[in-house]
Amino acid sequence: MRIDLPLAPQEAFDTLIDEISIALKTSGVTLEARSNGQITQNGRIVGYVEAWEPPRRMRVQWNSAGGVELRLEHIEGGTRATLSQVRPDESIGESEAAGWFATEFASPFICATMPARFEDWITDRRARKPSGSQARAVYREPLYHYPNFKVILAELALKPTDYLLDVGCGGGALLKEALQSGCRAAGIDHSADMLRVAEELNANAVAQGRLQIHQASADQLPFSDQTFTCASMTGVFGFLPDPLTALKEIWRVLQPNGRLVMLGSDPALRGTPAAPEPIASRLRFYTDSELRQLAVDAGFKDAKVERRELLAFARQVGVPEEHLPLFAGGAPFLIARKTIA
Ligand SMILES: C[S@@+](CC[C@H](N)C(=O)[O-])C[C@H]1O[C@@H](n2cnc3c(N)ncnc32)[C@H](O)[C@@H]1O
């Protein structure tokens, strides 16, 4: 398995090791990326780092037999990375070896390169479940999302007595703005990488106990009934596979009279720079009346969808002049309240 990367060898090595470690963790495997570092699977040691020679080579030796080697070599314009298997000494039969290679390596490799699979990965990577250094940098300071934050925060008009839940908090930039009101807050997101950024960005508030960050799914919020005075959600709704359950969950964790302000998923954005392909094909879009109806069905008897202008906010937060047209035309915001009859 081989890839040519437009990165210097040290950067390529660091990036690959970081990404491999994070990806392995999601499969219950922990790699101690250092000389003689242990590799554990669900708490059991299964191997170790036999060779650690950054930025040239890392070799993993399994306890049972065999291993894996990552090799990097400088090429014109970048670095070539090659991942290969180190065969166990006690070789299996020739046809079994071919079968093992075909089923365990070649076929997953072919599937991984198929367009739909790649497009799913890019959608997750950039927006649906962001990960990697580029996404971490973007969501730490999501300039193009600030106009939405401004609308939501103006509508919520937070006070120090408020307790805000931000669903799909990403890198925690909205939370950072919100906390300036003196309120308490919590953020949930299903991306471990985003939670890491949200915690770093709001380290003081976390240390002071004013902010909690949880890894969770929007359709199963890890909070008791009637916890929050208000909730926000922005840039998330179109990605939800079960939007009604997510809205019901928000309704559940809001106190009586609690308010929700969230950005909709506007069909007019399909295929524009705000919702480009391949992401657009993986988003759900809702008309204003569909969005309102979902909120009502979730229990929000008092719900309206209002179109709000973003242009002035975009100018205010410093969106470059040539990109301001992206913010013309108004965006749909659901403004709802948990009224109890
Ligand atoms: C486009 S980003 C927006 C992040 C942030 N709200 C902002 O505006 O900068 C969408 C975020 O929603 C999160 N997300 C998407 N679906 C989710 C789900 N079902 N449960 C929890 N988080 C979800 C993603 O991980 C990602 O951080």
- Name the CATH superfamily for 2-91: START domain (3.30.530.20)
Q: Is the pLDDT of residue 89 over 70?
A: no
What SS3 string covers the chain? CEEEECCCHHHHHHHHHHHHHHHHHCCCEEECCCCCCEEEECCEEEEEEEEEECCCEEEEEECCCCEEEEEEEEECCEEEEEEEEECCCCCCCHHHHHHHHHHHHHHHHHHHCCHHHHHHHHHHHHHHCCCCHHHHHHHHCCHHHHHHHHHHHHHHCCCCCCEEEEECCCCCHHHHHHHCCCCEEEEEECCHHHHHHHHHHCHHHHHCCCEEEEECECCECCCCCCCEEEEEECCCHHHCCCHHHHHHHHHHHEEEEEEEEEECCCHHHECCCCECCCCHHHCCCCCHHHHHHHHHHCCCCEEEEEEECCHHHHHHHCCCHHHHHHHCCCEEEEEEECCCC
What is the 127 CA–ligand 1 centroid distance (Å)?
Answer: 7
Q: pLDDT-based confidence at 85, cuts 50/70/90?
A: confident
Kindly tell me if the per-residue pLDDT of 198 is higher than 90: yes
Q: pTM score, two decimals?
A: 0.89
> What local confidence, expressed as pLDDT, does residue 100 receive?
83
- Residue ranges, comma separated, of all CATH 3.40.50.150 domains in the chain are 137-337
CB of 236 closer than 6 A to ligand 1?
yes
pLDDT at site 117: 95
Distance 235 CA to ligand 1 centre (A): 7
Atom of ligand 1 nearest to the CA of 217: 20
CB of 218 shorter than 6 A to ligand 1:
yes
Position 341 confidence tier, pLDDT thresholds 50, 70, 90: confident
Q: Is the CB of 149 under 6 A from ligand 1?
A: no
Q: Using most ligand atoms within 8 A of CB, pick from 145, 153, 193, 239 the residue to mutate for ligand 1.
A: 239
Name the least confident of 64-68, 201-205, 259-263, 309-313: 64-68
Q: How confident is the model at residue 88 (pLDDT cuts 50, 70, 90)?
A: low
Which part of the chain has CATH 3.30.530.20? 2-91
Q: Give tens-digit pLDDT for 90-140.
A: 667 777 888 888 998 899 999 999 999 999 999 999 999 999 989 999 999
CATH of domain 137-337: 3.40.50.150
pLDDT in tens, 207-247: 999 999 999 999 999 999 999 999 999 999 999 999 999 99
State which of 26, 123, 190, 219 you would mutate to test the pocket of ligand 1, scoring each by most atoms of that ligand within 8 A of its C-beta. 190
